[in-house]
Amino acid sequence: MYDVILFDLDGTLTDPKPGITKSVQYALEKMGIVENDLEKLTIFIGPPLIASFKEYYHMNDDEAKQALVYYRERFSQVGLYENAVYEGIKELLEKLQSQGKTLFVATSKPTIFSIKILEHFGLIHFFKAVIGSELDGTRVEKSDVIQFVLSQVDQSAAQKIIMVGDRKFDIVGAQENGIDVVGVSYGYGSCDELILAKPNHIVNTVPELEQLLCI
C-alpha cells in the first residue's frame, strides 16, 4: 500500500483545458500565428511549454521563449482560473488525508501558478508541498520535479511511493526515479500513450483511482 502519493496537476487533479488552450492561442497570435481550433492546442497540456512551441510550431529557442512570455501574460491573469476540479478529486484527497497519507503535487507548471490554482479551488491544505517548475526555466522536466520531491521524503519508504499522472512524461519521470506510477486515462494522455509508457497501473476514472490508493 502506498503511503506517499505524488499528484500531477493538469489533467489529473484539475481540467485546465480552457485556460491553457486560450493562453497558447493568445501567444501564437502575438507571434503572428493564427490558430482558431482550440482542440489542436490540447497537446500543450502536460509537457513543458517551450518544448511544445518548438515541436508543434517549429519555433527556435528565442521564439519559443518569447511565446512563453506572451502565454504567461494571459495565463497569469485569466487563464489559471479557467479551470475546474475533476469530479470526485476533493473527496479522494479528503479520504487519503484521513488515512494518514502524505500528499505532494509534482507538476511541470510553475510552482507560483500551481499554488494559486490549488488555493483558488480550496485544495492546497491537502498537500505537504507543491513542487513545480521555476519561472526562470529550471526544473521543468518531470523527472527533475519528482527527484526534488523525493529529496524531501524518507528514501527507506521508496516502495511505498507512487506518482499519479495523465501523460507519458509523468510515467517516464517516475520510472527514472525508481518509483511506481499510475496513469489516469481521464486526463489528456491517450490510452495508447499510457500503455506504451508502461506504468504500473492504469485507471480510467477517479473512483478507480480511489480504489487503488485508499486502504
Q: Which residues are catalytic?
A: 8
Distance between CA atoms of residues 9 and 154, nearest Å:
23
Distance of CA 108 to the CA centre of its chain: 6
> Residue 25 has which C-alpha cell?
492561442
Distance between CA atoms of residues 28 and 71, nearest Å:
8
Distance of CA 114 to the CA centre of its chain: 9
By three-state DSSP, how is residue 58 classified? coil
Cβ neighbours of residue 191 under 8 Å, at least 6 residues apart?
185, 202
> Residue 126 has which C-alpha cell?
491537502
